Structure 1
Protein backbone atom coordinates (compact mmCIF):
# COMPACT_ATOMS: atom_id res chain seq x y z
CA UNK A 1 0.00 0.00 0.00
CA UNK A 2 1.32 3.46 -0.88
CA UNK A 3 2.01 6.14 1.71
CA UNK A 4 -0.79 8.25 0.22
CA UNK A 5 -3.30 5.40 0.60
CA UNK A 6 -2.13 4.78 4.17
CA UNK A 7 -2.59 8.47 5.01
CA UNK A 8 -6.09 8.38 3.55
CA UNK A 9 -6.94 5.42 5.78
CA UNK A 10 -5.53 7.33 8.76
CA UNK A 11 -7.80 10.26 7.90
CA UNK A 12 -10.80 7.99 7.41
CA UNK A 13 -10.19 6.31 10.77
CA UNK A 14 -9.71 9.67 12.52
CA UNK A 15 -12.99 11.05 11.14
CA UNK A 16 -14.90 7.91 12.08
CA UNK A 17 -13.52 7.74 15.62
CA UNK A 18 -14.17 11.43 16.34
CA UNK A 19 -17.69 11.03 14.95
CA UNK A 20 -18.33 8.15 17.34
CA UNK A 21 -16.73 9.84 20.35
CA UNK A 22 -18.37 13.26 20.02
CA UNK A 23 -21.39 12.75 17.81
CA UNK A 24 -20.08 15.11 15.11
CA UNK A 25 -17.10 15.06 12.71
CA UNK A 26 -13.79 16.93 13.09
CA UNK A 27 -12.80 20.07 11.20
CA UNK A 28 -10.14 20.02 8.49
CA UNK A 29 -7.66 21.57 10.94
CA UNK A 30 -8.43 18.90 13.54
CA UNK A 31 -7.94 16.20 10.92
CA UNK A 32 -4.55 17.65 9.96
CA UNK A 33 -3.45 17.80 13.58
CA UNK A 34 -4.72 14.30 14.21
CA UNK A 35 -2.87 12.62 11.35
CA UNK A 36 0.24 14.82 11.22
CA UNK A 37 -0.50 17.01 8.19
CA UNK A 38 0.33 20.69 8.54
CA UNK A 39 -1.18 21.75 5.20
CA UNK A 40 -4.96 22.12 5.04
CA UNK A 41 -4.77 21.89 1.24
CA UNK A 42 -3.17 18.46 1.56
CA UNK A 43 -5.98 17.37 3.88
CA UNK A 44 -8.55 18.71 1.40
CA UNK A 45 -6.85 16.73 -1.37
CA UNK A 46 -7.09 13.51 0.62
CA UNK A 47 -10.73 14.23 1.50
CA UNK A 48 -11.58 14.76 -2.16
CA UNK A 49 -9.98 11.42 -3.06
CA UNK A 50 -11.83 9.68 -0.22
CA UNK A 51 -15.08 11.17 -1.46
CA UNK A 52 -14.37 10.07 -5.03
CA UNK A 53 -13.87 6.53 -3.73
CA UNK A 54 -17.22 6.68 -1.95
CA UNK A 55 -15.66 6.42 1.53
CA UNK A 56 -16.98 9.76 2.81
CA UNK A 57 -19.64 12.32 2.05
CA UNK A 58 -18.90 16.00 2.53
CA UNK A 59 -20.31 19.41 1.76
CA UNK A 60 -17.72 21.99 0.76
CA UNK A 61 -19.64 24.91 2.27
CA UNK A 62 -19.68 23.42 5.78
CA UNK A 63 -16.59 22.79 7.92
CA UNK A 64 -17.99 19.79 9.81
CA UNK A 65 -20.23 18.23 7.15
CA UNK A 66 -18.11 15.10 6.68
CA UNK A 67 -19.49 11.63 7.28
CA UNK A 68 -17.95 8.20 6.77
CA UNK A 69 -20.15 6.07 4.52
CA UNK A 70 -20.89 2.39 5.00
CA UNK A 71 -18.40 1.72 2.18
CA UNK A 72 -15.77 3.64 4.15
CA UNK A 73 -16.50 1.65 7.29
CA UNK A 74 -16.10 -1.59 5.37
CA UNK A 75 -12.77 -0.33 3.98
CA UNK A 76 -11.54 0.32 7.52
CA UNK A 77 -12.63 -3.13 8.64
CA UNK A 78 -10.88 -4.71 5.66
CA UNK A 79 -7.69 -2.83 6.51
CA UNK A 80 -7.90 -4.15 10.11
CA UNK A 81 -7.54 -0.68 11.63
CA UNK A 82 -11.05 -0.27 13.01
CA UNK A 83 -12.27 -2.20 16.02
CA UNK A 84 -15.78 -3.08 14.93
CA UNK A 85 -17.66 -6.23 15.90
CA UNK A 86 -16.50 -9.33 14.02
CA UNK A 87 -19.77 -10.88 12.87
CA UNK A 88 -18.06 -14.18 12.04
CA UNK A 89 -16.91 -14.66 15.64
CA UNK A 90 -18.66 -12.15 17.91
CA UNK A 91 -17.36 -11.62 21.43
CA UNK A 92 -20.94 -11.21 22.62
CA UNK A 93 -23.08 -13.87 21.02
CA UNK A 94 -26.60 -12.58 21.70
CA UNK A 95 -28.34 -9.33 22.66
CA UNK A 96 -29.36 -11.03 25.92
CA UNK A 97 -25.69 -11.19 26.91
CA UNK A 98 -25.43 -7.45 26.39
CA UNK A 99 -28.53 -6.76 28.45
CA UNK A 100 -27.08 -8.58 31.43
CA UNK A 101 -24.04 -6.26 31.43
CA UNK A 102 -25.90 -2.93 31.16
CA UNK A 103 -26.03 -0.37 33.96
CA UNK A 104 -29.20 1.44 35.02
CA UNK A 105 -28.54 4.38 32.68
CA UNK A 106 -27.91 2.31 29.55
CA UNK A 107 -30.44 0.37 27.50
CA UNK A 108 -30.38 -1.82 24.41
CA UNK A 109 -32.69 -0.82 21.57
CA UNK A 110 -33.20 -2.45 18.19
CA UNK A 111 -33.18 0.07 15.36
CA UNK A 112 -35.95 -0.66 12.87
CA UNK A 113 -35.52 1.92 10.12
CA UNK A 114 -33.05 3.25 7.56
CA UNK A 115 -32.62 6.76 8.99
CA UNK A 116 -28.87 6.37 9.62
CA UNK A 117 -27.60 4.09 6.84
CA UNK A 118 -25.07 6.61 5.50
CA UNK A 119 -22.96 6.24 8.66
CA UNK A 120 -23.28 2.47 8.92
CA UNK A 121 -26.19 2.15 11.37
CA UNK A 122 -28.43 -0.32 9.60
CA UNK A 123 -31.97 -1.59 9.94
CA UNK A 124 -32.18 -4.26 12.71
CA UNK A 125 -28.91 -3.19 14.37
CA UNK A 126 -28.92 -3.17 18.17
CA UNK A 127 -27.96 0.19 19.67
CA UNK A 128 -26.58 0.93 23.11
CA UNK A 129 -28.41 4.01 24.39
CA UNK A 130 -27.06 6.08 27.29
CA UNK A 131 -29.56 8.24 29.17
CA UNK A 132 -28.15 11.76 29.45
CA UNK A 133 -29.62 14.98 30.78
CA UNK A 134 -27.83 17.23 28.26
CA UNK A 135 -27.62 16.33 24.57
CA UNK A 136 -25.14 18.30 22.41
CA UNK A 137 -25.97 19.41 18.89
CA UNK A 138 -25.02 16.77 16.33
CA UNK A 139 -25.29 13.84 18.74
CA UNK A 140 -26.94 10.65 17.52
CA UNK A 141 -30.01 10.07 19.64
CA UNK A 142 -32.91 7.67 19.98
CA UNK A 143 -36.21 9.53 20.19
CA UNK A 144 -39.91 8.85 20.50
CA UNK A 145 -42.13 10.83 18.15
CA UNK A 146 -45.90 11.18 17.88
CA UNK A 147 -46.51 9.94 14.35
CA UNK A 148 -50.26 9.53 14.02
CA UNK A 149 -53.45 11.31 14.97
CA UNK A 150 -54.54 8.31 17.03
CA UNK A 151 -51.82 9.03 19.59
CA UNK A 152 -49.53 6.17 18.64
CA UNK A 153 -45.81 6.89 18.67
CA UNK A 154 -42.68 5.57 17.01
CA UNK A 155 -39.10 5.24 18.20
CA UNK A 156 -36.36 6.21 15.76
CA UNK A 157 -32.76 7.42 15.56
CA UNK A 158 -31.52 10.79 14.24
CA UNK A 159 -28.91 13.46 14.74
CA UNK A 160 -30.18 16.04 17.22
CA UNK A 161 -30.06 19.81 16.65
CA UNK A 162 -31.74 22.44 18.83
CA UNK A 163 -32.90 25.37 16.71
CA UNK A 164 -34.63 28.24 18.50
CA UNK A 165 -37.92 26.89 19.83
CA UNK A 166 -37.82 23.75 17.73
CA UNK A 167 -35.78 20.59 17.33
CA UNK A 168 -34.39 19.36 14.02
CA UNK A 169 -33.92 15.62 13.78
CA UNK A 170 -31.53 15.04 10.89
CA UNK A 171 -31.38 11.60 9.25
CA UNK A 172 -28.14 10.25 7.79
CA UNK A 173 -29.94 9.09 4.67
CA UNK A 174 -29.96 11.24 1.55
CA UNK A 175 -33.45 9.95 0.64
CA UNK A 176 -35.04 11.24 3.84
CA UNK A 177 -35.92 14.76 4.97
CA UNK A 178 -35.26 16.12 8.47
CA UNK A 179 -38.03 16.10 11.05
CA UNK A 180 -38.83 19.51 12.54
CA UNK A 181 -40.84 19.25 15.73
CA UNK A 182 -41.77 20.90 19.02
CA UNK A 183 -42.61 17.60 20.68
CA UNK A 184 -39.91 14.98 21.03
CA UNK A 185 -39.02 12.61 23.84
CA UNK A 186 -35.30 11.88 23.88
CA UNK A 187 -34.60 8.35 25.07
CA UNK A 188 -30.83 8.86 25.11
CA UNK A 189 -27.59 9.15 23.17
CA UNK A 190 -26.32 6.31 20.96
CA UNK A 191 -22.95 5.14 22.32
CA UNK A 192 -22.53 1.80 20.56
CA UNK A 193 -23.76 -0.50 17.79
CA UNK A 194 -24.10 -4.28 17.93
CA UNK A 195 -24.83 -6.45 14.88
CA UNK A 196 -25.20 -10.20 15.14
CA UNK A 197 -25.93 -10.78 11.49
CA UNK A 198 -25.13 -9.32 8.09
CA UNK A 199 -28.13 -7.19 7.16
Structure 2
Protein backbone atom coordinates (compact mmCIF):
# COMPACT_ATOMS: atom_id res chain seq x y z
CA UNK A 1 0.00 0.00 0.00
CA UNK A 2 1.11 3.54 -0.73
CA UNK A 3 2.52 5.55 2.15
CA UNK A 4 2.37 9.31 2.51
CA UNK A 5 5.63 11.19 2.99
CA UNK A 6 4.83 11.66 6.69
CA UNK A 7 4.08 7.95 7.13
CA UNK A 8 7.38 7.07 5.41
CA UNK A 9 9.21 9.44 7.76
CA UNK A 10 7.60 7.89 10.84
CA UNK A 11 8.24 4.32 9.67
CA UNK A 12 11.86 5.14 8.94
CA UNK A 13 12.27 6.90 12.30
CA UNK A 14 10.83 3.92 14.20
CA UNK A 15 13.14 1.53 12.35
CA UNK A 16 16.27 3.64 12.88
CA UNK A 17 15.40 4.20 16.55
CA UNK A 18 15.08 0.45 17.07
CA UNK A 19 18.43 -0.17 15.36
CA UNK A 20 20.17 2.32 17.63
CA UNK A 21 18.41 1.60 20.94
CA UNK A 22 17.06 -1.95 20.51
CA UNK A 23 13.63 -0.81 21.62
CA UNK A 24 10.76 1.09 19.99
CA UNK A 25 10.35 4.84 20.48
CA UNK A 26 7.49 6.36 22.44
CA UNK A 27 4.91 8.50 20.66
CA UNK A 28 6.45 11.59 22.25
CA UNK A 29 9.94 10.61 21.04
CA UNK A 30 8.58 10.26 17.51
CA UNK A 31 6.95 13.69 17.81
CA UNK A 32 10.16 15.33 19.04
CA UNK A 33 12.43 13.41 16.67
CA UNK A 34 10.46 14.49 13.59
CA UNK A 35 9.42 17.92 14.85
CA UNK A 36 5.69 17.18 14.60
CA UNK A 37 3.10 19.48 16.10
CA UNK A 38 1.47 17.07 18.57
CA UNK A 39 1.28 13.47 19.76
CA UNK A 40 -2.21 13.35 18.21
CA UNK A 41 -0.65 13.81 14.77
CA UNK A 42 1.77 10.97 15.50
CA UNK A 43 -1.05 8.70 16.68
CA UNK A 44 -3.06 9.47 13.55
CA UNK A 45 -0.22 8.34 11.28
CA UNK A 46 0.64 5.34 13.47
CA UNK A 47 -2.95 4.14 13.20
CA UNK A 48 -2.76 4.52 9.41
CA UNK A 49 0.47 2.49 9.34
CA UNK A 50 -1.18 -0.19 11.48
CA UNK A 51 -4.19 -0.38 9.14
CA UNK A 52 -1.85 -0.77 6.17
CA UNK A 53 0.02 -3.62 7.87
CA UNK A 54 3.39 -1.94 8.40
CA UNK A 55 3.26 -1.88 12.21
CA UNK A 56 1.44 -3.41 15.16
CA UNK A 57 0.50 -1.35 18.21
CA UNK A 58 0.06 -2.30 21.84
CA UNK A 59 -1.82 0.63 23.36
CA UNK A 60 -1.22 -0.69 26.86
CA UNK A 61 2.50 0.16 26.91
CA UNK A 62 4.39 3.36 26.11
CA UNK A 63 6.75 1.66 23.66
CA UNK A 64 4.11 -0.39 21.95
CA UNK A 65 5.05 0.11 18.28
CA UNK A 66 6.32 -2.95 16.40
CA UNK A 67 7.35 -2.96 12.75
CA UNK A 68 6.07 -6.06 10.93
CA UNK A 69 5.24 -7.61 7.61
CA UNK A 70 6.61 -8.28 4.15
CA UNK A 71 5.41 -4.86 2.98
CA UNK A 72 7.76 -3.26 5.48
CA UNK A 73 10.70 -5.44 4.43
CA UNK A 74 10.07 -4.41 0.83
CA UNK A 75 9.83 -0.78 1.92
CA UNK A 76 13.08 -1.15 3.87
CA UNK A 77 14.91 -2.52 0.84
CA UNK A 78 13.52 0.05 -1.59
CA UNK A 79 13.20 3.17 0.52
CA UNK A 80 15.65 3.04 3.42
CA UNK A 81 18.70 1.25 2.01
CA UNK A 82 20.62 3.46 -0.40
CA UNK A 83 23.43 2.36 -2.72
CA UNK A 84 26.10 5.03 -3.19
CA UNK A 85 28.70 4.38 -5.92
CA UNK A 86 32.26 4.07 -4.62
CA UNK A 87 34.58 5.80 -7.09
CA UNK A 88 38.05 5.20 -5.69
CA UNK A 89 40.45 7.43 -3.80
CA UNK A 90 40.91 11.17 -3.43
CA UNK A 91 44.63 11.76 -3.83
CA UNK A 92 47.20 13.30 -6.16
CA UNK A 93 47.12 11.66 -9.58
CA UNK A 94 44.53 11.11 -12.26
CA UNK A 95 41.04 12.65 -11.96
CA UNK A 96 38.59 10.83 -9.76
CA UNK A 97 36.15 8.93 -12.03
CA UNK A 98 32.91 10.68 -11.10
CA UNK A 99 29.90 8.68 -12.38
CA UNK A 100 27.81 10.43 -15.02
CA UNK A 101 24.84 8.04 -14.90
CA UNK A 102 25.73 6.22 -18.13
CA UNK A 103 27.87 3.54 -16.45
CA UNK A 104 26.98 1.65 -13.28
CA UNK A 105 30.07 1.86 -11.04
CA UNK A 106 31.10 -1.10 -8.93
CA UNK A 107 31.25 -1.49 -6.00
CA UNK A 108 28.58 0.40 -4.08
CA UNK A 109 28.37 1.41 -0.45
CA UNK A 110 25.03 0.41 1.06
CA UNK A 111 23.90 2.98 3.60
CA UNK A 112 20.65 4.00 5.24
CA UNK A 113 18.78 6.96 3.84
CA UNK A 114 18.77 8.43 7.34
CA UNK A 115 22.58 8.64 7.21
CA UNK A 116 22.85 10.23 3.75
CA UNK A 117 19.67 12.28 3.33
CA UNK A 118 18.99 12.97 -0.33
CA UNK A 119 21.07 10.39 -2.22
CA UNK A 120 20.72 12.04 -5.64
CA UNK A 121 24.09 12.77 -7.31
CA UNK A 122 26.09 11.21 -4.45
CA UNK A 123 29.32 9.27 -4.84
CA UNK A 124 31.88 8.04 -2.31
CA UNK A 125 35.66 8.42 -2.16
CA UNK A 126 38.24 7.12 0.29
CA UNK A 127 40.71 9.68 1.61
CA UNK A 128 44.45 9.12 1.31
CA UNK A 129 46.50 11.57 3.33
CA UNK A 130 46.16 13.72 6.43
CA UNK A 131 45.85 17.28 5.15
CA UNK A 132 42.26 17.60 6.49
CA UNK A 133 42.65 16.07 9.95
CA UNK A 134 41.67 19.26 11.78
CA UNK A 135 38.37 19.15 9.86
CA UNK A 136 37.87 15.61 11.24
CA UNK A 137 38.70 13.92 7.94
CA UNK A 138 41.57 11.48 8.30
CA UNK A 139 43.53 9.00 6.24
CA UNK A 140 41.25 6.09 5.32
CA UNK A 141 37.97 7.91 6.00
CA UNK A 142 35.16 7.74 3.46
CA UNK A 143 33.70 11.01 2.20
CA UNK A 144 30.33 11.16 0.50
CA UNK A 145 30.46 13.75 -2.25
CA UNK A 146 27.59 15.51 -3.99
CA UNK A 147 27.70 17.16 -7.38
CA UNK A 148 26.31 20.64 -6.83
CA UNK A 149 25.95 23.62 -9.20
CA UNK A 150 27.40 26.19 -6.78
CA UNK A 151 30.23 26.14 -4.25
CA UNK A 152 30.52 28.54 -1.31
CA UNK A 153 33.64 29.73 0.46
CA UNK A 154 34.53 27.25 3.19
CA UNK A 155 33.00 24.21 1.48
CA UNK A 156 35.15 21.09 1.51
CA UNK A 157 35.47 19.91 -2.08
CA UNK A 158 37.19 17.42 -4.34
CA UNK A 159 39.16 19.49 -6.85
CA UNK A 160 40.83 18.54 -10.11
CA UNK A 161 43.78 20.84 -10.81
CA UNK A 162 44.24 20.82 -14.58
CA UNK A 163 47.86 21.89 -14.15
CA UNK A 164 49.78 19.97 -12.70
CA UNK A 165 47.13 17.29 -13.23
CA UNK A 166 46.32 16.39 -9.63
CA UNK A 167 43.24 15.85 -7.53
CA UNK A 168 42.93 16.97 -3.92
CA UNK A 169 40.47 17.37 -1.06
CA UNK A 170 40.57 20.87 0.44
CA UNK A 171 38.41 23.75 1.64
CA UNK A 172 37.54 26.15 -1.16
CA UNK A 173 37.89 29.96 -1.09
CA UNK A 174 37.58 32.48 -3.93
CA UNK A 175 40.03 35.37 -3.72
CA UNK A 176 39.61 37.64 -6.73
CA UNK A 177 40.80 35.82 -9.84
CA UNK A 178 42.43 33.16 -7.69
CA UNK A 179 41.19 30.19 -5.73
CA UNK A 180 42.71 29.23 -2.38
CA UNK A 181 42.55 25.53 -1.52
CA UNK A 182 43.01 25.44 2.22
CA UNK A 183 44.20 22.35 4.11
CA UNK A 184 43.10 21.69 7.68
CA UNK A 185 46.51 20.69 8.97
CA UNK A 186 49.25 23.22 9.87
CA UNK A 187 51.86 20.91 8.33
CA UNK A 188 50.49 21.75 4.86
CA UNK A 189 50.45 25.06 2.98
CA UNK A 190 47.43 26.37 1.07
CA UNK A 191 47.34 26.01 -2.70
CA UNK A 192 46.75 29.16 -4.76
CA UNK A 193 45.75 28.82 -8.40
CA UNK A 194 43.70 30.58 -11.07
CA UNK A 195 40.00 29.80 -11.07
CA UNK A 196 40.23 28.54 -14.66
CA UNK A 197 42.64 25.85 -13.46
CA UNK A 198 40.11 24.41 -11.01
CA UNK A 199 37.42 21.86 -11.76
CA UNK A 200 35.10 21.06 -8.83
CA UNK A 201 34.15 17.39 -8.81
CA UNK A 202 31.95 17.41 -5.73
CA UNK A 203 31.25 18.81 -2.28
CA UNK A 204 31.65 16.78 0.92
CA UNK A 205 28.27 16.21 2.58
CA UNK A 206 28.99 13.24 4.90
CA UNK A 207 32.18 11.86 6.48
CA UNK A 208 32.31 8.20 7.53
CA UNK A 209 35.13 7.86 10.06
CA UNK A 210 37.40 4.84 10.08
CA UNK A 211 38.35 3.98 13.65
CA UNK A 212 41.19 1.69 12.60
CA UNK A 213 43.80 3.66 10.66
CA UNK A 214 46.18 2.20 8.12
CA UNK A 215 49.75 1.88 9.45
CA UNK A 216 52.06 4.70 8.37
Bigger share in strand:
2
Task: Give the TM bin, normalised by the shorter chain.
Answer: 0.3 to 0.5
After TM superposition, the score normalised by the length of structure 2 is 0.43
Q: Greater relative contact order: 1 or 2 (C-alpha under 8 angstroms, separation 6 or more)? A: 1
